[in-house]
Each structure stands twice: as C-alpha cells, then as structure tokens.
Amino acid sequence: MPNSTLPYETAVTSTLSNGSRVSVTDASDMAKLLVRTKRQPVGADVEIPSGLPSQGHAQVGGQVLIAATRPSEWTILGQRGMDVADLVPPGATVVDLTHGRSAVRLSGVGAPEVLAQLCSLDFSDDFTPNGAVISGAVSSVMCDIIRDDMDDAPSYVLLFDRSFADFFSTQIVDVASYLNQHPLRGH
C-alpha cells in the first residue's frame, strides 16, 4: 500500500479563515489515494466492493473520507500514513496522489454561492446534497468536488492538480471575500 511519508509542502497560497459566511482552508496535507478496480463492460451489472460508496457518492468511514469519483475509481482522503488495506478490494490498484493533487475546503452558508460564481454546476441541496461527489471546472480548473458538511453548514472539498494551486486558491479566496462582504440577495 502506498504510504505518504515524504514531507509535504503545500502549493496553496491563499486561505480565508475570518469569513463570516464562508471560509477557505488548505486541505492539501491530507493523504489522497486513488483506488481503481477493473472496469466492467458497458451494460454489465456493476458490483461495488464492500465498504465503498457507489458512483457519485461519498462516505465517512472512521478517519477517512471515501469518494466514488469515477466508474470503478474511489479517492480516499485522510491522515497521511493511514492504513487503507481493509478498504481496498482484492485485485485493485492504489496510487498515491498526495503530492500531485492539492485540496481546499470551502465551508459555510455562503460556500454554494462561491461555487455558483465560479462554476456552471448546480450546488443546491437538491442536486448536490451532503455526500454528493461531482466533477467540473471551477474557475476553469477541473476539480473533483466532494460535499462533506461540517457543523450543520455546507462544506466542500475541492481536489485539483497541484500545478493550479496558487491560481485556484487565489480565485476562490477573492470570490469568498467579496461574498462575505456583499451577500447575494435573499441569502
């Protein structure tokens, strides 16, 4: 099993912790493991390995967040050095993406508004409830977006290529800062 023990230096340059409606925190230090099983033929019954969520869903299991990001693929997020052997089905491959992907957590009642300003996806509770997993371009950067609510407020983990970390975190913080000061009408 991969084990992220190398020191990690974040590439995220902007955060926002004092926001009244939304905060942006660097979540890049957590381990990011990709688990991939053999793809099933089109039309075949897809068997979800025990303990893993179905496509488009996430679940918290102990100290890890498991997201079904693509068909036959899951991203496991958690403490660096975590043991995921019990989560990995026989015959699956595991790739450690910790140093190649960055992550930010966007939290608070204004988080869906921030994403709506930067992305064409629907972040309403009906379309992306807690536990939803979607992929899309946020500020022109492809992201895996995992809704993982905290403290009874919307919270999203956004995973993206590390090379975009400076640009992407700055974009998210700029919009979050503006919306903290100027909430959209009716919110």
pLDDT recorded at residue 37: 86
| Reported pTM | 0.86
Looking at the fold, whether 131 and 111 belong to one and the same domain comes out as yes
pLDDT recorded at residue 60: 87
Looking at the fold, whether 132 and 172 belong to one and the same domain comes out as yes
Q: What is the CATH number of the domain that holds 20?
A: 3.30.1360.120
pLDDT recorded at residue 80: 85
Whether residue 104 is contained in a domain is answered as yes
The burial class, CB within 10 Å (0-12 / 13-18 / 19+), for 105 is buried
Q: Which tens digit of pLDDT belongs to each residue from 35-74?
A: 998 876 555 555 667 778 888 899 887 788 999 998 889 9
Domain count, the chain: 2
Q: Of 46, 76, 97, which one is at a domain's C-terminal end?
A: 97
Looking at the fold, whether 108 and 91 belong to one and the same domain comes out as no
The burial class, CB within 10 Å (0-12 / 13-18 / 19+), for 76 is buried
Q: Which has more pLDDT, 24 or 86? A: 24
Q: Which domain holds residue 129?
A: 13-28+100-187
Looking at the fold, whether 176 and 116 belong to one and the same domain comes out as yes
Mean pLDDT of 96-116: 93
Q: In this model, does residue 187 exceed pLDDT 70? A: no
* Alpha-carbon span 48 to 22, nearest angstrom: 35
Whether residue 7 is contained in a domain is answered as no
Q: Residue 54: what residue type? A: S
Mean pLDDT of 135-140: 95
Q: In this model, does residue 153 exceed pLDDT 80? A: yes
| Dihedral (CA of 102, 161, 15, 153) sign | negative
Mean residue pLDDT across the chain: 85
Q: Of 97, 122, 138, which one is at a domain's C-terminal end?
A: 97
pLDDT recorded at residue 158: 97
Whether residue 6 is contained in a domain is answered as no
Nearest CA-CA partner of 176 in 34, 25, 10: 25
Q: Coil, strand or helix: which one is 109?
A: coil
Looking at the fold, whether 88 and 169 belong to one and the same domain comes out as no
Looking at the fold, whether 86 and 59 belong to one and the same domain comes out as yes
Looking at the fold, whether 105 and 184 belong to one and the same domain comes out as yes
